[in-house]
Structure 1
């Protein structure tokens, strides 16, 4: 089996996670990176929606990037996309309220505006299903993980107790924190992940480097910053942009 970065060994690999509806920061970060969809390999590790004001804009822009970059871009699912899908598929009060409590209302507002945001959830859902089926299809088909020659990419983490990390449940890949954060794994590759804001892992929102894992969630959903991790010629570098109030 050939991994994507073996085939394109000279390409720069870029990893970004937890955009959280901050489309302006995301596009600013790509500009700062001088991102080229025809040359770079871009991995996006989930949580594109919720909390920030531009969830619709983020998904719409990701669809544009998907057309431009083709196989040079990979999209993973985050727990916020999982919560949205669960609410849409179940519509029970508990399923919807969990999403609403975690930024779902901001995501819905970006799709239906202030006039409809107070409508019953089933009416809002109907509008989104009717008007934005391509957005829902995109979210429904996000990957849970990706593996390259040197890295394992997930939104939240892997289960270090499993002999085969791929056998974990879908919930593990999008929700896990403990014991992944506290335990070294034995995959032989570096795990790159988002989900846990790095401000909770060390003193600031910069990328968190450990011997076997790298956390890249800069807390964009909490008005901190959006990070990019770059891997080129077997070396890491980082670029960040602050979230403007």
Structure 2
């Protein structure tokens, strides 16, 4: 059996979907290379548990990349200002993430759409997870393809790019990428790339880009792509 590279992106706390998808693909760490493209947390119900699972997969050989939601989390919790805190907690689903670590709404002071950072938001599990997230790379590259969370700025290689661009870029990459290597990315739900609110399947751009964010946390689907063969898998919330 030839080795597969399996790519999955934008899990967003949907641990049950991740476990079902890995089972459906027949993932075997002894044979397959799993590449996770970021956004393990926020909005979904089991962010803490998903990160714990991702760390287990990493220990078994998976390549784990950083997404923009991990970036938001670090900005908020690594001494960022009030704007960083509110941007994560109020607007990007961070409050659900912290609740998954056992913090209460009273501790997070989420009231009337505002959020106030409180002293004493400490957890050994959270600190262990933050240390892991701080260590994550922003891309994975082979001779044939590049895996990245959001994309690559036109005219640059992944190595030449600002790591922030690799986890945040959207349209400039979608329309302007013209590199020689195939790029597998998440970040932007494929329904938007397809221009069809009901199509959450992988998106194949004519410029060698493949989007796999099926919008799982937005009632879409969690996709996996076997990069070499092009075989796809997906699961949805039942």
Match of 2:101 among 108, 111, 116: 111
The verdict on how the C-alpha distance between 1:131 and 1:45 changes in structure 2, with shifts beyond 3 A counting, is closer
> Secondary structure of the residue that 1:90 maps to in structure 2?
coil
1: CA distance between counterparts of 2:64 and 2:146?
Answer: 14
Per-residue CA shift, 1:133-179, capped at 9, x if unaligned?
A: 321111111111110121111100101133x4422112100000021
Counterpart of 2:87 (choices 89, 98, 113) is 98
Task: Please tell me whether the aligned partners of residues 204 and 210 of structure 2 are also in contact (alpha carbons under 8 angstroms).
Answer: yes
Aligned partner of 2:162 among 161, 169, 176:
169
Residue in structure 2 matched with residue 41 of structure 1 by the alignment: 33
Structure-2 change in CA distance of 1:34 and 1:183 (3 Å) = same
**Equivalent residue in structure 1 for 2:13, among 21, 27, 31:** 21
1:183: Cα distance to partner? 1.7
Aligned residue in 1 for 2:113 = none
Match in the other structure for 2:112 = none
Look up the SS of the partner of 1:236 in the other structure.
Answer: coil
State how far apart, in whole Å, the 2-side matches of 1:94 and 1:53 are: 24
Deviations 1:82-119 (A, max 9, x none): 00000112341100011121111111110024465535
Query: Where does the alignment leave 5 or more consecutive residues of structure 2 unmatched?
Result: 110-115
The separation in 1 between residues aligned to 2:147 and 2:185, in whole angstroms, is: 6
Distance verdict in 2 for CA 1:132–1:165, change over 3 Å: closer
Q: What is the aligned-residue RMSD (CA, Å)? A: 1.8
1:82-231 correspondence runs (5 A):
82-100=71-89, 101-114=91-104, 117-119=107-109, 121-123=117-119, 125=121, 127-128=122-123, 130-162=124-156, 164-186=157-179, 188-202=180-194, 203=196, 204-211=199-206, 212-231=208-227
TM-score, structure 1 as length reference: 0.87
Q: SS at 2:172's partner residue? A: coil
In the aligned structure 1, how far is the partner of 2:55 from the partner of 2:158? 30
Task: Give the drift of 1:221.
Answer: 2.5
CA shift in 2, pair 1:29/1:131, >3 Å? closer
CA gap 1:25/1:117 in 2 versus in 1, 3 angstroms: farther
Unmatched tracts of structure 1, length 5 or more: 1-8
Q: Secondary structure at the match of 2:2?
A: coil
- Greater helix share, structure number: 1
